[in-house]
Structure 1
Amino acid sequence: MAKHRAPRRSRFTFLVPSLTAAAVSTGLAFPVDAQDIDKLISQMDEVSTAAGAKNEEVKELENDIERAQSNLDRLKDEAESANAAAARAIGAKNGYQSDVNGIAVSKYRNVQKDPLITTLESGNPQTVIDRASYLGSISRNTERTLGELQDANQTAAQMANAANIALAEAEFYRNQLDSKHRKLNEERSELEEQVRNLENQVNSLDGEAREEWLNKNGPIKNPQPGLALNPAASGVVGAAMSKIGAPYGWGAAGPNQFDCSGLMFWAYAQNGKSIPRTSQAQLAGGQSVPLSDLQPGDIIGYYPGVTHVGMYIGNGQVVHASDYGIPVQVVPYNSMPIQGAARY
């Protein structure tokens, strides 16, 4: 199998080389000297890596924000329900307290007399006994009910308090994500100029330089997927392979343009399976598999920080969306520095 190229640096050194920038700005053709071409490709590769990594970082953060907002909405509903339950519990207790007060007055008026006088006045001792027993029963039931309402009131208040605390924490976390998102967007805006320069550089390549860029990962002509594909793997591999030749698009997930993780996301979606959207999450979200046990359909992560992914198709090959100006293609799976593999 082909040996992979030297790993692209993962540091974000967003410097567009003066050589290539000058060539773009003046409209001059790029030099065809082999050494100059290698230098140009290396410099463009670095900017492309930075741009791709930043896009992946922003997409991952946007996914985090979406999940945080969903959690925040759920906690808001729970807090509203808990506060309403607490208000109902307080209302029930206060309403019953009014009844208790009325019973207390009745008990005072009817039972606080001397038993002998009460007996003589009634003319029937049994009536007095029955009345006292009845009022005593009411008193015990009232005290028990009042205690139950008090307990329910305390429980509801505790639940409302816990819900409000969780809501406040979720709002704080959401605000933190918003702040980070604004910062990342500022960084991405700064990077957009670099990306535009990169696109201009790629679009201005011709002859040997363009071939060098297109073939930098050693694309395989007439690739042959592995023969022993299970139905699920055959579906996702077939979907990804159907997009060979489709152009690269920053942050694109089909159906006509793709970035690396977008191609994986789209291929699995065509087979009714949802996977994470970003390269890092795609590697982390599946079942980790050793390279010695790779199967068609597995996702392989590349470069430090997993800034790139491709789909293993068997026979030591991977289909991927590589860089701007390079269509979806099949390359040797070890043509880039591997960070791990995941199975879905």
Structure 2
Amino acid sequence: MPTVAAQQRKQRTRQLVGGALTVGALVIGSAAAGPVVADPVAAPTTAGDAVQRLIDLSRQSEQLNQAALNAQTDLDTKVAAAEVADTAAADAAGVLDAARNEIKRFQPAIDRAATAALMGSRTNQLTSLLVSDSPQQMLDQMSVVDLVAARTNNQLSQYKKVSDAAATADAAARGAADAARAASAAADALRTDLELKRSELQGAIAGVIAAWGQLSAGDKSALAGSMFPPGFDRDTLLRGLVPGSGTSALAAGLTRVGAPYVWGAIGPDQFDCSGLVQWAFKQVGKSVPRTSQQQSNFGTPVAEQDLQPGDVVFFYSEVSHVGIYAGNGLMLHASTFGVPVQVAPMGSTPFHSARRY
């Protein structure tokens, strides 16, 4: 029978773990963009219940972690688009300025032609014939008239071209400026969203860590589990792998077994789920996206029944967890806080899809 002191310690553990989990759940549930969390219930009555509550909260924090990573990626994309739009707007403004300067260069000739037309000038070959004193003077005047007419027509043609170019440049500059403003506004909105998600994640992490700190050493060990399932032989698996980018990434990832799970970590000594996948494929020269959702759209789809070692497997309806298939229904993954990188059965996690990189 447990001693009185042991019972008191267990009671304090239940209260502290339950309180920490309740705080974390409230933090997560307070944001509309975050996952839906049920109202907290009574504090766990057993150590097993406390561990399960910790697992649930860790799962929710992982969802927030992936959401924050997605928001960061979206923000990076929007900031880059805003920078491109700003450059395009500056370039369009420069073209517009150049077009306006061209208009200024032709303006004097256009003004002279307009004045002559307004004054009723009729300088032509007939006028030259009537006012000439000699045939040679007539020829000279006719040549000058032809030259002036040709030059004026050419200037008028050039003026029309630069005017059209200026109008086009003006429209482009206005459009580019509008695009730059829109891109900047989109980036600002994503910054706000990212800050919210990071705040939610920090609150969830604090709840998880507080709850973890109140578990007994035995409960922590039970939660962490073993690095490999019973009967699993890493060396045998590695010898049987057919060379390829996926199997080579699996082999690289297996060297990280035992590394701790840390939100947002990409290795080489600590990982979150998508960080491990990204790191493993990077070791074989393949660049893959950062988050589980992005990774689920990368590569080639693979049916669950056609899985081969090295395929990338995704879990949960919103795709918020990922691992690398290790054959025989097993996967290599960075599971959750308190559970190091390990090889584990896939069956305990709701399967979503798989891809082959």
Report the TM-score, using the length of structure 1 for normalisation. Answer: 0.83
Supply the AA of the counterpart residue of 1:12. Answer: V
CA distances 1:203-229 after superposition (whole Å, capped 9, x unpaired): x3333x344312399835434537242
Supply the AA of the counterpart residue of 1:317. Answer: L
Pick one of 206, 225, 231 that aligns with 2:217.
Answer: 206
Pick one of 123, 135, 155 that aligns with 1:142.
Answer: 155
Offset of residue 44 of structure 1: 1.2
User: Is 1:237 aligned to 2:247, yes or no?
Assistant: no
**What's the counterpart of residue 274 of structure 1?**
287
CA distances 1:72-111 after superposition (whole Å, capped 9, x unpaired): 1111111101111111101111121124335667898893
Offset of residue 232 of structure 1: 1.7
**What's the counterpart of residue 74 of structure 2?**
64
Distance 1:233 1:192 in 2: 32
Name the SS for the 1:124 alignment partner: helix
Pick one of 166, 169, 174 that aligns with 1:161.
Answer: 174
Structure of greater relative contact order (alpha carbons < 8 Å, 6+ residues apart): 1
Name the SS for the 2:99 alignment partner: helix
Distance 2:41 2:315 in 1: 24
User: Is 1:80 aligned to 2:93, yes or no?
Assistant: no
Offset of residue 235 of structure 1: 1.9
Which deviates the most, 52-61 or 225-234?
Answer: 225-234
**What's the counterpart of residue 237 of structure 2?**
225
Measured on the aligned residues, the alpha-carbon RMSD in Å equals 2.7
User: Is 1:40 aligned to 2:65, yes or no?
Assistant: no
Distance 2:36 2:314 in 1: 17
**What's the counterpart of residue 98 of structure 1?**
108
User: Is 1:127 aligned to 2:140, yes or no?
Assistant: yes
Identity of aligned residues (%): 27
CA distances 1:228-273 after superposition (whole Å, capped 9, x unpaired): 4233223211110110111111211111111111100111111122
Offset of residue 186 of structure 1: 2.8
Distance 1:17 1:288 in 2: 43
Pick one of 43, 54, 58 that aligns with 1:18.
Answer: 43
**What's the counterpart of residue 175 of structure 1?**
188
Unaligned 5+ segments in structure 2 are 1-34
CA distances 1:52-80 after superposition (whole Å, capped 9, x unpaired): 11111111101111111111111111110
CA contact (8 A) 2:325 2:331 kept: yes
When residues 256 and 299 of structure 1 are mapped into structure 2, their CA distance, relative to the original with a 3 A threshold, is same
**What's the counterpart of residue 89 of structure 1?**
99
CA contact (8 A) 1:264 1:311 kept: yes
Report the TM-score, using the length of structure 2 for normalisation. Answer: 0.80
After superposition, where does 1:284-323 map in structure 2 within 5 Å?
284-323=297-336
Count of residues in Structure 1 that have an aligned counterpart in Structure 2 = 317
Unaligned 5+ segments in structure 1 are 1-9, 21-35
Offset of residue 14 of structure 1: 8.2
CA distances 1:10-32 after superposition (whole Å, capped 9, x unpaired): 64358596348xxxxxxxxxxxx
Distance 1:233 1:189 in 2: 33
